[in-house]
Structure formats: C-alpha cells, structure tokens
Amino acid sequence: MKVGQLPAVGSAPELVQEKAVSIGGSFLALGVSCHIAPAPRVLGSALVTKLLTEDLKDLTGAVVRVETDPQKAAGWMVAHIAEKRAALGLK
C-alpha cells in the first residue's frame, strides 16, 4: 500500500509560515492531498499554479484544496477521507 492510499488529508488552515508550504509539499509528493488557507504565495507562477491545481493528481494522486471557509474545508476533508476509505473497502 502507498501512503497516498491512506484515508488521510493534510491541513494548514492558517498558513502563516513558510515551513507549512514545505510540509505540505512533502505530503503532496507522497500522494496525500492537502487543504491550505489562505493561498500560498507560490501561486504567483503560472507553471506552479497549473501543477498544483491541475497536473498534480496525475503525478502523485494528490490534490490541493485552497479554502478559507472552515465549514467548506472540513466538508471537503471529510468527503475526501470517505472516498479513500471506500477505495480501501472500509465502511
């Protein structure tokens, strides 16, 4: 089993330090999807933005969700974990 198959998600709901970007990058490289808020400054590059918002799922299986509303963020995380659980045959 790969790490990215686990029913887990990373979250940085108050992205205030650069180290959160590097931790999130590690999660994404392992295939673990992440929620972040607010959008990190790395989105200034068209190439990086496309990689994080479009191409990453095909490369590692992970997705990045930028969401500042805590209710929406929590809903996305719960749904994402449920999808991963279902893929593993867990209830």
Which is nearest to 83 in space by CA: 23, 2, 5? 5
User: Could you read off the pLDDT tens digit of each residue along the chain, which spans 91 residues?
Assistant: 889 999 999 998 887 777 887 888 899 999 999 998 887 776 678 888 888 778 999 999 999 898 999 999 999 999 999 999 999 999 7
Token pair in block for residue 35: 């929620």
**Cis? peptide before 13, omega within 30° of 0:** no
Name all domains of the chain by residue range, CATH numbers in brackets: 3-87 (3.40.50.2030)
Q: What is the pTM of this model?
A: 0.83
